[in-house]
Amino acid sequence: MPEPFVAYLRVYEPLSSFDAPLREELAAAIDRGPVDPFDAGLREQDVWLRSQLAAPPRLLPGEAPDGSVQGERDVLVLDPEEVPTAPAATVGPAPLVCPLDLRGRAAAALVGFLGDAELPLRAAALSVPAEQAKVRASAVVSELAGSAVHVLSSTWTVPLPWFVLVDPAERCVFTERDRRRVCWRVAMADARRRVARAHAIGRQSIGEEGPTRILRETGRWLERFHPHSAVELDYGGLVQLMSDSDLEADTSAEDVHAIVDAMEADDAEEVATRYEALRDFWSEFAARERHN
């Protein structure tokens, strides 16, 4: 089964920044063995499918039929030494931990699905009445009021404002067992600084909607985490759709940063040129989404 065609924006916080008993649960997850970053998408897919194929099916992964929490936490772990930082930024101490937060993320997605999907689709997809599903999912989302999920995801493409967070020159391409992984890592302080600058420029240039709104929401999300955390932009399963020539031609991060600079300089021609390059590159993946 192919890995889900999903890209991720993740936050890794120092384990020491978590309060008990969550800190002990995450430490136990590390001792059992963190999720292999190459397998993160497949792990999420497996946990979700198991929850839906159980008898009776579970509404959300990581819970019993009655809605109570069960199972063990899954985490990704990152060494601070693997995170490029500007001179004024601090990352750590180790280990840096990213809980996959599958139950909370699934609940938030379910609330959105129930609000957008047509009645026949809701009836076909749910194992319980829609109103019951909404109540249970909303209750899980409410539990997150004092915290935030550590992972944002996007199917079939990468939201272009996410590239603002990273240094284009720091892209990492890993290979393992004929598989590739493409990601950027950045210190939280650097990510917040870049988002704040891009948001201010975007608000002045194009207003508060569209990419500017995404930057505002992303900035607010980042503020909810420890200041010595790390942020990772990961192409995830999208690399399955990319050939070697695609990766060589991918200048998305450079183009997004150039657009921000051009907007600040009021250079409309440069903005248009860079945006056209982004549109041309990502249109192939958008077409695959439509075909599926």
Spatial neighbors of 267 by CB under 8 A, at least 6 apart, are none
Q: What is the pLDDT along the chain (292 residues), one digit of tens a residue?
A: 678 899 999 999 999 999 999 999 999 999 999 999 999 999 998 888 888 778 777 888 877 766 667 667 899 999 999 999 988 899 999 999 999 988 888 888 888 888 877 888 877 778 778 888 888 888 888 776 667 889 999 988 999 999 999 999 999 999 888 889 999 999 999 999 999 999 999 999 999 999 999 999 999 999 999 999 999 999 999 999 999 999 999 999 999 999 999 999 999 999 999 999 999 999 887 777 666 5
Task: Measure the CA–CA gap between 177 and 183, rounded to whole angstroms.
Answer: 17
Please give the pLDDT value at position 176. 85
Please give the pLDDT value at position 206. 93
**At residue 249, what are phi and psi to the nearest 5 degrees?**
-85, -5
Bridge-based pairing state of the strands 75-78 and 96-99: antiparallel
pLDDT in tens, 158-171: 999 999 999 999 99
What are the extents of the domains in the chain? 6-35+74-101+150-291
Task: Measure the CA–CA gap between 256 and 259, rounded to whole angstroms.
Answer: 5
Please give the pLDDT value at position 202. 97
Please give the pLDDT value at position 1. 65
Task: Measure the CA–CA gap between 91 and 12, rounded to whole angstroms.
Answer: 10
50: left (phi over 0), alpha (psi -120 to 50) or beta: alpha
- Report the candidate in 222, 192, 195, 198 with the shortest Cα–Cα distance to residue 89: 192
Task: Measure the CA–CA gap between 38 and 105, rounded to whole angstroms.
Answer: 20
Please give the pLDDT value at position 48. 80
pLDDT in tens, 174-202: 988 888 999 999 999 999 999 999 999 99
The alpha-helical segments, DSSP class H, found in 117-228 are 119-125, 130-143, 188-206, 211-222
Task: Measure the CA–CA gap between 263 and 268, rounded to whole angstroms.
Answer: 7
* Residue at 112: amino acid letter: G
For residue 147 the two structure tokens come to 């915290």
Q: Given CA atoms 195, 141, 230, 179 in this order, what sign does their dihedral have?
A: negative
